[in-house]
Amino acid sequence: MATPARLIPLRVLVGGTLFVHGFARLFGGPDRKVPESALKYLGQEYQEWIEGGGIDRFTERLAEIGVPNPRAFAYALAGTECFGGALFALGVQTRLTGLAVAAELGASIYRTYWGHGMVGGGGWELPMLLMIGALTVVLGEEDARKDEPA
């Protein structure tokens, strides 16, 4: 079952946002440059994200908050955001990828963001919106499946 047309913009926005965040975490680093054509769409600040990103820095941040085996978790979390987000945006295995990104976001909210409050630096508002958006698409596909004639 394909995503209902009314949910496609939400699926693309949630998946695309996760992809952009995960990409910076996986492939960023001090010497990485974003093409100017991409910066026109993503904004100049994305260059700072890329330069401040990378798996080594993400691993360090996870170690600082006490995540066990932080390097493995860094790859798992960043990979889920990057590749899961891309697949979700494209509508590939939407229910599976949507549940995967929602689980990753829920764990991140619980472990990292909740203590910072809803808004401000490190707040949980964006991860929560992305998680709820992913679950809305997943549940919307399930509802559409139930409405199909037998």
Cα 118 to its chain centre, rounded Å, is 18
Band of pLDDT at residue 111, cut at 50, 70 and 90: confident
Q: What angle do CA 103, 15, 142 make, to 5 degrees?
A: 65
Task: Count CB-CB contacts under 10 A for residue 56.
Answer: 12
67's CB contacts (< 8 A; 6+ apart) are: 73, 111
Rounded distance between C-alpha atoms, residue 32 and residue 112, angstroms: 26
Rounded distance between C-alpha atoms, residue 91 and residue 137, angstroms: 10
pLDDT tens by residue, 38-48: 999 999 999 99
Residue type, 135: L
CB 126 within 8 A of CB 38: no
Tokens in use for 60? 């360090």
pLDDT tens by residue, 122-134: 899 999 999 999 9
Mean pLDDT across the chain, nearest whole number? 93
